[in-house]
Amino acid sequence: MSVNKDLPISLNLDLSGLNCPLPILKTKKKLGDMQSGQLISVTSTDSGSYNDFKYFCEHTGHELISREQRESKFYFIIKKK
């Protein structure tokens, strides 16, 4: 999966510097304020987030549109269910 910059992102969330579980918790809170179908772009530096966001989406029903690692950063696009 790679990040598609042409997608209509509703919110960009930079969580760089935060460690587990904060990236997931902060993303979950923001998703709660969004409409179904909207997209959120998340950036994280927590190495565990690459798998954490995959599992989070599988368990909550949100769609993980893309996930990508570039050097020490992880990029995700999630579609709210």
* pLDDT for 6: 79
* pLDDT for 5: 62
Nearest partner of 44 among 31, 25, 29, 61, judged by Cα: 25
Considering the candidates 12, 17, 19, 20, report the single residue annotated as catalytic.
20
Q: Which two tokens stand for residue 39?
A: 């997209």
* pLDDT for 7: 84
In the chain, where the domains are located: 9-79
How do 63-70 and 39-44 pair as beta strands? unpaired
Q: Which two tokens stand for residue 50?
A: 């690459």
Q: pLDDT tens digits for 36-78?
A: 999 999 999 999 999 999 999 999 999 999 999 999 999 999 9
- CATH code: domain 9-79 is 3.30.110.40
57 is catalytic: no
Phi, then psi, of 65 in degrees rounded to 5: -70, -45
β-bridge partners, 65: none
Q: pLDDT tens digits for 7-39?
A: 899 999 999 999 999 999 999 999 999 999 999
